[in-house]
């Protein structure tokens, strides 16, 4: 029994130790990445290409999801609000839910699974096929040339995707609320306009999406760069990116919400 | 003839090099006190069985791994004491061909060869175009410039990677298992290319390989690595006629000898009968 307990605690200790060590390594990696970020802005084409891959190619999934989430909000919101006779506030409910919470969080989760996993797999495979080593031997720093542009591409793309998610979501809410169930169009828009505050709501939402962008991009490039250079290693790293990024987004959202609102 | 009879102008000299991978279960020694020299203008082969530390040796020359003891000096500069900036400057004078080419799969053959030129020079695009075609012509693949890496055969990838590694006219070209997995024709093409390019560029080359037949035809000097040490060295003729047991086993491809057929294990009979 005591042996079993010993092993049990040892394995917990080992995992905690491992986790802290990895976190430290990830922080050092981020620091190195930031130091070598100059090239991402001097040769902005490299970063722009990544914005295209992570951002533009995620547009469809983001916008379709946004539309449906907005439509669901419209239905559920109307259902609840009309019980209290305040269905005219549907616009406010849809807009605030999206801008404050669902926009950044849902876009972040979708971004992690659509673009983050792709970045991890790409960097991991480049490592497994010695492309990163080859680059190093060509006197080109892979962190500066490959990793940093992907990181910044994600950081730039994420807030734009979150904004688009919220915008299509509001449109989805409008479609269902105004066109389908017949909330007054003027009330829908005017209440939204008067109740959504730029600084308090929109700016805070943008800050959230920037933070999520940094976190997801950081996790994706780190997992890719740190992946074991085998098929199994890359697949594990991709899974870890999606799982870690999703949990981190939800956790960070809680912290940010507590601080902001 | 021994290595000392060759001209003493060494591009790379390796002294007392030791390296071990540290693992939780203790460290595994890969290289143990290796001394070696790569003379200017020559092609040197490093041979030995799989996993004997040959590739580690190349990575050490390129500064990608740090030895626990000993030094690598290239052209008067000690590789492992250099700052990052100086190491990168030194690497611009090296070319390395990786085992499976390591071409960038998202860009064309042309862009792969142009990559180091674009990264390190400010040359106008027309000049880069001509340079790339010249390099590709040298490996016989000018006509494949527009292809993507996934459209190439193994031998072709290897040749494109070779063109890429000589893009900046390096002084030292390193080859990591350049002959692995090639058909006989591609094999002798790559072999001939290594020799011809070395002589045309006035470079020095190191080939890490276990392909005896091809490499003995094209190299000037051979080092045999076994269990992290230099087991034998000499010119191809000396190696062919060597009576060192390990070299004989290797050159004549005998399954058993100093390198045992069996991985170390418990006594066979005891293991089958589950005896202690």
Residue A78 structure tokens: 């109307």
Per-residue confidence band for B1, with pLDDT thresholds at 50, 70 and 90: very low
A235 pLDDT more than 50 = yes
Q: Does the beta-carbon distance from B98 to A145 stay under 8 Å?
A: no
B41 and B52 Cβ atoms separated by less than 8 Å: no
Burial track B78-111 (b if 16+ CB lie within 10 A, e otherwise): ebeebeeeebbebbbbbbbbbbbbbbbeeebbbb
pLDDT tens per residue across span A102-118: 999 999 999 999 999 99
Sheet with strand B94-97: strands edge to edge: B94-97, B172-176, B204-209, B43-47, B221-226, B229-234
| Alpha carbon distance B258, B262 (integer Å) | 11
- The rounded distance, in Å, linking the Cα atoms of B72 and B78 is 6
Pick B102's closest partner by Cβ from A131, A140, A141. A131
More confident: A105 or B50 = A105
**At A37, is the pLDDT very low, low, confident or very high (cuts 50, 70, 90)?**
very high
Interface check for A82 against chain B (CB to CB < 8 A): the answer is: no
Which of B91, B105, B164 has its CB closest to that of A139? Answer: B91
* Domain encompassing residue B95: 3-110+168-272
* 3-state DSSP assignment of residue A47: helix
Q: Is the predicted pLDDT of residue A92 greater than 60, yes or no?
A: yes
Reported ipTM? 0.82
Report residue A41 as tokens: 């802005």
> Number of CB pairs < 8 Å for A and B?
47
- pLDDT value at residue A2: 82
Chain-centroid distance of CA A209 in Å reads 7
> With an 8 Å Cβ cutoff, are B99 and A130 in contact?
yes
**A257 at interface of B, judged by CB pairs closer than 8 A:** no
Q: Would you say the C-alpha torsion A129, A135, A136, A137 has a positive or negative sign?
A: positive
DSSP letter, residue A43: T
Question: Which of B85, B98, B113, B180 best tests the A interface by mutation, with the highest count of A CBs <10 A?
Answer: B98
Q: Where are the domains of chain A?
A: 36-260
Which residue shows structure tokens 């500066």? A144
Nearest CA-CA distance, residue A135 and chain B, Å: 9
Asked whether residue A143 carries a pLDDT value surpassing 90, the answer given is yes
% residues pLDDT > 90 (chain A) = 91
Cα–Cα distances (Å) from A171 to A79, A216, B132, in that order, read: 18, 27, 52
A32 interface with B at CB cutoff 8 Å: no
Residue B246 lies in a domain: yes
Alpha carbon B257 to chain centroid distance? 26
Q: What is the CATH number of the domain that holds B22?
A: 3.40.50.300
Instruction: Please give the structure tokens belonging to residue B149.
Output: 């890496």
* Interhelix angle A117-128/A204-226, nearest 10 degrees: 20
> Which of B29-33, B48-52, B112-116, B260-264 has maximum average pLDDT?
B112-116
Report which DSSP code applies to B82.
S
Give the bridge partners for B10, in sequence order: B39
Question: Quick one: pLDDT at residue A62?
Answer: 95
The residue of chain B with its CA nearest to that of A139 is B88
Per-residue pLDDT at B49: 75
Mean pLDDT of chain A: 94
Pairing of strands B221-226, B43-47: parallel
Model confidence at B2, pLDDT cuts 50, 70, 90, reads low
- Burial label, B197 (beta-carbon count in 10 A; 0-12, 13-18, 19+): buried
Q: Which residues of A touch B64 (CB under 8 A)?
A: 133, 136-137
Determine the distance in angstroms separating the CA of A15 from the nearest CA of chain B, rounded to an integer.
15
Q: How far is B79 from chain A (nearest CA, A)?
A: 13
Tell whether the model's pLDDT for residue A119 goes beyond 90.
yes
Nearest CA in chain B to A131: B102
Are the Cβ atoms of A133 and B98 closer than 8 angstroms?
yes
**CB-based contact, B173 to chain A, within 8 Å:** no
Domain count, chain B: 1
Residue-wise pLDDT for A123-137, tens only, equals 999 999 999 999 999
- Residue B33 and residue B17 in contact, taking contact as beta carbons nearer than 8 Å: yes
- Pick the more confident residue, B215 or A161: A161
| Contact with chain A for residue B91, Cβ under 8 A | yes
């Amino acid at each position: 029994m005591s042996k079993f307990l010993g092993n049990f605690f040892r394995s917990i200790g080992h995992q905690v130790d491992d986790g802290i060590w990895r976190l430290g390594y990830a922080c050092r990696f981020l620091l190195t990445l930031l130091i070598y970020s100059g090239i991402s802005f001097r040769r902005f084409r490299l970063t722009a290409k990544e914005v295209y891959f992570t951002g533009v190619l995620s547009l469809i999934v983001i916008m379709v999801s946004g539309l449906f989430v907005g439509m669901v909000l419209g239905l559920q919101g109307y259902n609840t609000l009309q019980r209290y006779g305040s269905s005219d506030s549907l616009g406010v409910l849809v807009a605030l839910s999206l801008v404050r919470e669902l926009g950044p969080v849902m876009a972040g989760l979708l971004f992690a699974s659509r673009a983050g996993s792709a970045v991890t797999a790409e960097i991991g495979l480049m490592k497994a096929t010695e492309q990163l080593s080859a680059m190093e031997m060509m006197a080109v720093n892979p962190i500066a040339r490959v990793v940093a542009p992907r990181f910044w591409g994600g950081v730039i793309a994420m807030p734009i995707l979150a904004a688009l998610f919220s915008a299509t979501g509001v449109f989805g809410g409008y479609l269902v609320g105004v066109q389908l169930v017949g909330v007054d169009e003027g009330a829908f828009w005017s209440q939204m306009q008067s109740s959504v505050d730029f600084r308090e709501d929109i700016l805070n939402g943008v800050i959230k999406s920037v933070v999520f962008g940094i976190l997801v991009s950081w996790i994706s490039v780190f997992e890719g760069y740190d992946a074991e250079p085998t098929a199994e290693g890359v697949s594990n790293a991709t899974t870890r990116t999606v799982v870690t990024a999703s949990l981190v987004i939800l956790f960070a959202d809680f912290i940010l919400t507590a601080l902001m609102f | 003839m021994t290595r000392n009879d060759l001209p003493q102008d060494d591009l790379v000299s390796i002294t007392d090099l030791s390296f071990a991978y540290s693992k939780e279960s203790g460290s595994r020694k890969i290289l143990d006190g290796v001394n070696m020299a790569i003379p200017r203008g020559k092609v040197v082969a490093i041979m030995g069985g799989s996993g004997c530390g040959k590739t580690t040796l190349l990575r050490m020359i390129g500064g990608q791994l740090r030895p626990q003891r000993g030094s690598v000096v290239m052209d008067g500069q000690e590789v492992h004491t250099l700052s990052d900036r100086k190491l990168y400057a030194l690497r611009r004078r090296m070319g390395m061909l990786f085992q499976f080419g390591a071409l960038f799969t998202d860009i064309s053959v042309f862009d792969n060869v142009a990559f180091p030129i674009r990264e390190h020079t400010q040359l106008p695009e027309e000049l880069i175009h001509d340079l790339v075609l010249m390099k590709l012509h040298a490996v016989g693949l000018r006509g494949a410039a527009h292809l993507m890496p996934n459209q190439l055969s193994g031998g072709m990838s290897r040749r494109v990677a070779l063109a890429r590694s000589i893009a900046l006219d390096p002084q030292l070209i390193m080859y990591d298992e350049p002959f692995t997995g090639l058909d006989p024709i591609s094999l002798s093409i790559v072999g001939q290319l290594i020799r011809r390019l070395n002589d045309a560029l006035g470079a020095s080359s190191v080939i890490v390989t276990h392909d005896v037949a091809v490499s003995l035809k094209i190299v000037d000097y051979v080092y045999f690595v076994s269990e992290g040490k230099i087991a034998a060295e000499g010119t191809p003729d000396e190696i062919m006629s060597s009576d060192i047991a390990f070299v004989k086993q290797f050159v004549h491809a005998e399954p058993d000898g100093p390198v045992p057929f069996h991985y170390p294990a418990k006594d066979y009979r005891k293991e089958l009968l589950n005896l202690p």
